[in-house]
Amino acid sequence: MFENPFVKTLSIAVLMGIFLVDMGLGLFDIFSTKSSPLPSAFVLMIFAVVFIGGMVFYERQGLDTLSSLIGGALAGFGLSFVFVSLVGGVQFALGGGISVLGWEQVISAVAACMIAGVIMLKALSYKLQNHFY
């Protein structure tokens, strides 16, 4: 889609920064209100769908049944956590939470997450490149 490597890397960094800050705001909202932004039944449905999909994926990759069950469970927990925290972050932002924290802090957090995201992305691509050669 993007042929310019600068634009491509910057786009990925901005998206990762916003994503990570949104998750952080969601966790802040969840811990401050002590309630989930989504109904438990919806979270359980997300977990079930990802668990089944992850289990089938890992079985197709050649893992034994127990390993695929564990992999599916980890994928289900992980994606459920990410989704709930993202929804919490959006609710927090739409509820005026960003103005309470201050725009400067939120923009600084996005900038820090952009830097961390690019470092993680480059380290992961370097690690995977060395792994396959």
Give the residue extent of every domain in the chain.
5-132
pLDDT in the model for residue 121: 85
State the DSSP string of 18-40. Answer: HHHHHHHHHHHHHHHHTS-SS-H
Residue range 55-79: mean pLDDT, rounded: 94
Q: What is the pTM of this model?
A: 0.80
In the chain, beta strands by DSSP E: none
40, HSE (Cβ side, Cα atoms, 13 Å): 1
Interatomic CA distance for residues 67 and 40, integer angstroms: 27
pLDDT bracket for residue 1 (50, 70, 90): low
